[in-house]
Amino acid sequence: MDHSILNSVIKITNQRDVDSLEYSLVATLAEMIPVTDISVYKMVDDGYQTQLEQTLHLAMKLDPKTGDKDVLWSQGPIVVHKDPDILNCFNTALKVKFDEQQNTLRLIIPIVCDNKVVAALDIKSNSDLSRYIKTLEAMMRIYENYLFILNESERDKLTGLFNRRTFDKKLDRLLQVQRNKQLHLVESKSDSEKRSLKPYSEAWLAIVDVDHFKMVNDKFGHVFGDGVLLLLSHKMKQCFRQSDYLFRFGGEEFVVILEPHPQEQAFVTLDRFREAIASHTFPLVGKVTVSIGYARINESDYPPAILHSADKALYYAKENGRNCIYNYETLVGDGAIEATPLGASIGI
């Protein structure tokens, strides 16, 4: 048996979350085959349109003096305005192989999970990859099988959203991406990029609670209550970007982590979702509304304290009419609520 392949399989299946699994796949393939670049592409629906994004990129650069290879990572999302070959891979679920100019070979492989193309792997090399095809295909099947298992463990069984146990990992990852973007902007020579640092340096956490949900269960039964939660989660997937994180924390409480936006845009995004729920007629139940409280996420924040702040804004929304949205920082600034003390926690 080829022990290098066995070790590669061990590395991949040693991961415990989907994001780390993706990194591990790319790094493992870069070790196994002679590549110059590997990229991961995903189709992202932002509620208005579906667009192609590069979410991860690895470049192998050869040092002309030492002959050593430098591994350069970059993480998106980077919007790709046009790449018919990648799109063809998504549409057909078939791998695409062809030669480019300057003796560079390109191989595009679909990543399939639960019978759906969820991503495309774009591999570029200066060498003929023909003898690696079977190994690549075997590694992809192992990756896809393990991806399905991890997806199942990270998701709420009813809604398909992330569950409570994945919250800390996803928040840590978003904050790391945020730090990377800030570092890039700080080091950028572009004054326009530096000027854009402050408004877009903050992500947002929102807690969504279904108003009077106990009355729904008491009046119509838990089957129809579950139906409300299922339809609500479907609306969440429609109203928020795929790069936002959506969680069901339990019962009728949901959490949304919005990628960095100015505060006014965060409010517009959340209000669009609130209105989508308020205007929808649920089978038998009729009209349902949600209350939302949200707070700013800074990279130095303690996750339970962020949750506590958003929950205080949610409680204010519940006490002041429901079917509305309040921001924690605005409420503190107006003197409507007290600031969250350091080390605060919340048991959602």
Domain count, the chain: 2
Nearest to 239 by CA among 208, 201, 218, 195: 208
Residue 229, domain member (yes or no): yes
Under DSSP, is residue 7 helix (H, G, I), strand (E, B) or coil? helix
User: Are 182 and 83 within one domain?
Assistant: no
Query: Pick from 120, 154, 188: which residue ends a domain?
Result: 154
Encoded tokens for 182: 């800030």
CA distance 238 to 232: 10
Query: Pick from 123, 154, 185: which residue ends a domain?
Result: 154
User: Are 181 and 312 within one domain?
Assistant: yes
Q: What's the pTM?
A: 0.68
Under DSSP, is residue 146 helix (H, G, I), strand (E, B) or coil? helix
Helices 3-13 & 133-154 angle (0-180, nearest 10): 20
Sequential DSSP letters for 34-68: --SEEEEEEEEE-SS-EEEEEEEEEEEEE-TTT-P
Which residues form the domain of 324? 162-333
Q: Is 42 in contact with 35 (CB distance < 8 Å)?
A: no
In Å, what is the CA distance from 242 to each residue of 12, 55, 120, 256? 24, 12, 16, 11
In Å, what is the CA distance from 283 to each residue of 4, 194, 294, 297? 55, 50, 29, 36
* pLDDT of res. 276: 96
CATH code of the domain covering residue 292: 3.30.70.270
Each residue's pLDDT, cut to its tens digit, for the chain (348 residues) gives 455 666 666 666 666 677 788 888 898 888 888 889 999 998 876 555 678 888 889 998 776 676 677 788 887 678 887 788 898 899 888 887 766 555 678 889 999 988 889 899 999 998 888 888 888 888 888 889 988 888 888 888 899 899 988 887 778 777 766 666 666 555 555 554 444 444 455 889 999 999 999 999 999 999 999 999 999 999 999 899 877 899 999 889 999 999 888 889 999 999 999 999 999 999 999 999 999 999 998 766 777 888 999 999 999 999 999 999 999 999 999 999 999 876 555 555
CA 32 to chain centre: 28
* pLDDT of res. 49: 67
Sequential DSSP letters for 230-267: HHHHHHHHHHS-TTSEEEEEETTEEEEEEPS--HHHHH
* pLDDT of res. 303: 78
User: Are 141 and 59 within one domain?
Assistant: yes
In Å, what is the CA distance from 267 to each residue of 263, 324, 325, 331? 6, 11, 8, 14
User: Are 148 and 199 within one domain?
Assistant: no
User: Are 29 and 115 within one domain?
Assistant: yes
Q: Is 288 in contact with 228 (CB distance < 8 Å)?
A: yes
